[in-house]
Chains A and B, each alone.
Chain A
């Protein structure tokens, strides 16, 4: 029976075997794009990113607008009536602050949004291990550097596009709310465009940092914990650590190396208590952290048994 079976009935058709070239980056890129768009967790995480960033930024902007509205009617935010002169002075002070920080206020949600993109960045690689898919992936594309590069490229592109959309959306929603009190910024405001684009870049690099950690640790929970630790916990801890003895160096000089402070200056105007790098230099430092994580991930990915 076997010998008589036609080839097409057996394997379902012909596949040419003397194709020139070799399986490489382009095909793997298409494959990785199929992978990321064919699981629901991608959409849920990206939706969560947009909702968190736009929602929290909008809420923060709304709070600032309400505060200004109260002062204009002569009361504090809590409703206490202020002497006229004091209310006027406070209002002027407040308006000056909100105007100067209008972009940062609308992008405030990125502080939490970075944690969401960390989840997706880790999942992109660790889900291959938790499901066992990595064994199938590496059997079909055994050139590991190609596989990881394609995976990283696809995720970086998805994270960047979503990050930019998120950042612009948060900016416009926040400014629309601040505009009710005539304190909004436009994209033409000096530095505003850099901040909004920087917000998208920042989110993408947060994701890539987490992707690198995921490649190193191979466990979803571990990679997410490490990502949040580096981005968020370190930031909080720095506010509780004792200052070094005076005359050595200022704490602000250490703090600027903390990943969040280095990376966030590109979208945040004010950084209290920190003597930050300039926005682009800081972002470069932040990118270097992500590159180190990805480099470590690649190193281990090439050497370890899968």
Chain B
């Protein structure tokens, strides 16, 4: 269990983490989400006592990390795969970590087997690929068989096989009753992995809920409609208080109505429909919507490079008018 209370960290003039309070419960995977620069890594560094909070507290199993009798037997962390001395072999890297917590030598062999690095255990870890480095970092985290595991962007740079391996490992660890806290800036990754979400942006807590709740709360219900009379449907839907988005292929997305309501509306106005389907917003979309205002660096698009307009067009406007940005 990880508990943060009013956690705040300021670096010079930058507020990296701003009054963050959350709880990471055991027995499930808690995804820690936010765009790059949102403060995820800083938060993890604060949990691990690498940085000192400006205000607030964070505890693991009720204590600060430095007060735990055997830190490695309670918390294991993969912060980044490069936090190793490249001149040391994987075996000696793990051995020197194990010795600090009086873990037996056989543990080193066991975790090397577990992550599949036995063959290269005597090689200098500076020669490892990114994927092997991640595996070594995970081996280090698992050394003490801790009840809390933290992974900062664990799938970065991994091939699909490696991603699947980590995902299954995290699920298995959570199923064992361990606390698994994993950060990512990729919503799609969390959608497949996490049970629970903590979402932050610009260092502030945006949401703390289950994945389903997150989608339900943060994405509007939408209906995909195809019709040869888009203008009529747009006008009708707008009249009924809904919002209609046009996309380039002539598909309309109606927000704020159920599929049944859209079908009834079309029937009343004598509009022909070719397709009518309720759509569930993905986590990715919900995430983008939620954090749009809290992204630290907005990448500028080249002018006139045919960018997609955010299609927030209210019903009644002709589809062509939605692309004014391009024309201008």
Contact = CB atoms under 8 A, between A and B. Distances in A.
Interface of A: 1-3, 5, 7, 10-15, 17, 19, 21-23, 27-28, 30-32, 34-35, 38-41, 127-128, 131-144, 303, 305-306
30 contacts: A1-B168, A2-B172, A3-B175, A5-B172, A5-B175, A10-B176, A11-B114, A15-B107, A15-B145, A17-B73, A21-B102, A23-B70, A27-B99, A27-B100, A34-B96, A35-B85, A35-B92, A38-B95, A39-B87, A133-B84, A135-B50, A139-B65, A139-B79, A140-B71, A142-B48, A142-B65, A142-B66, A142-B68, A305-B45, A305-B51
A132 B84 CA distance: 6
Given A23-B101, A39-B88, A135 B83 contact: yes
A34 B96 CA distance: 6
Nearest to B174: A2
A277 to B, nearest CB: 40
B48 A34 contact: no
A67 to B, nearest CB: 45
Main SS class of interface, A: helix
Contacts of A30: 99
B310 to A, nearest CB: 39
B140 interface: yes
Contact of B48 (A2, A21, A38, A138): A138
A2 B87 contact: no
Given A5-B172, A35-B88, A305-B52, A23 B114 contact: no
A22 B69 contact: yes
A40 B72 contact: no
Contact of A31 (B86, B99, B110, B171): B99
Interface in B149-191: 168-169, 171-176
Given A131-B84, A135-B79, A139-B77, A306 B50 contact: yes
B234 to A, nearest CB: 48
Interface of B: 45, 48-52, 65-66, 68-75, 77, 79-80, 82-89, 92, 95-103, 106-107, 110-111, 113-114, 140, 142, 144-145, 147, 168-169, 171-176
Contacts of A135: 45, 48, 50, 79-80, 83
Contacts of A21: 69, 102
A21 B68 CA distance: 11
Contact of B82 (A17, A132, A141): A132
A131 B88 CA distance: 11
Contacts of A5: 172, 175-176
A39 B101 CA distance: 21
A39 B96 CA distance: 12
Contact of B100 (A13, A15, A140, A144): A140
A302 to B, nearest CB: 10
6 smallest A-B Cβ distances: which pairs?
A12-B110, A38-B92, A15-B145, A22-B69, A2-B175, A31-B99
Contact of B83 (A127, A136, A303): A136
Contact of B106 (A13, A23, A34, A139): A13
B87 A40 contact: yes
A35 B87 CA distance: 10
B66 A23 contact: no
A12 B69 contact: no
Nearest to A20: B69
Nearest to A28: B100
A49 B121 CA distance: 30
A12 B86 contact: no
A22 B66 CA distance: 11
A66 to B, nearest CB: 42
Q: Pick the most buried of B65, B102, B113, B174: most chain A CB atoms within 10 A of its CB.
A: B102
Contact of A141 (B77, B95, B100, B103): B100
A3 B79 CA distance: 27
